[in-house]
Structure 1
């Protein structure tokens, strides 16, 4: 298929009449660079490439954070040499503002240097704290190359370090062999653990969704329960929630069942007023009521006594006839 690529291009009739244009190619005939937009500044020694941010930086224009790995269309230009290694400069525009960032390679330290437009975010730590392998510095490498005694001492120290770390390395190898000796069994256990955790997470999610739907809080995320939350919830007294229609029906029923006349408590309070005050207000009526009560009491007592005596007489007569 490679031989057909040249046949898919259009060549004007006057292209073959000029030998120089034929040597340079079809792009030169049309006045284009082979790389098109990437090579529009090729005559200045600038090539547009895809540049990836080597570390986290802060933009000086908008003061925003730009993470490591963010890619830009940068202008690449050679600005010098470090011995025989070329030094390149990259110029790119921030995607959040109109500020331009200029970064240059640093072959001496195997790093990149920010020239303008940004500042580096410092997230450095001592690698010995994490038990990482620390590379030798330039001064140590120079002494190892020039000083034979220092090289011997350094080698003895490295040998002692390796002897101290050998038991731990052996334990790691042994554990790796025990765990991954049977790949199928290890994979089976891992999948079973994952399946169990997935079911637990699904049960918790369903319970949370029920609570959210009951309280009309759909869309929120609930935090896991704690012992303090359970203790606080046990101390609260929950009341049954009723709708407005139920409350209005109960209120209407209460009003309909309520008596129109004043209650006994009102009468009792009225009767409990001071005697002098009542006599001063309605002396005639009070006297009549009192007289009626006095006249009615003996009559009621007399009727009750007669009823009891008649019942006793009837009972005694019935018992005599049975004998």
Structure 2
């Protein structure tokens, strides 16, 4: 698209430079120059747009399907020169008007001459010696390639597959601001994790009572075994009495006196 247009179907803007698959055909001649017509469809709503060339005014004309977007720019903001209009060009044929116009141009030239001279001198100083500029550029490229090779070698020594950038003050500041967790912090986190993983309900009293009952039954079995051994004549009464009056540490003294 040679300029910005408004689509006639959905009123959306089609930007300048958008490419289309258009049907091209000749619709006339302007002297020996052919007038071409381009028929295309809008990408937003499939509206048919027809544009023709205008060799007389050296521009494109929208025939149907769209409307050209008019854009006005300020000459100072765009940093461009304002071309004279057609009426001004016709007036330049008048000798008196041409003389006045030339005086204004000479006045503008004198005002801008110091700036132009300064810019010309700066350009000459920069581009006067082509050999020196080319040599400085090649030296810069060599030093850059050498630095890149050194960075790649250092990265390979560290076992890295990417090239490390040179250190900077920002990286040093960011690395100094990082705080690693100490052993105290680690143990505190472990304790908290253990507390969170433990059950919130206490141990049941039934398991405790069960352990006591089992211990009592074991003691009764030991005493019954000692009594039966005494009745069979295998254990002396003194040893049985000492066993019954002894502490809970000597659980089976009768078994030690077996023959």
TM-score range, shorter chain: 0.3 to 0.5
State the TM-score, normalized to the length of structure 1: 0.39
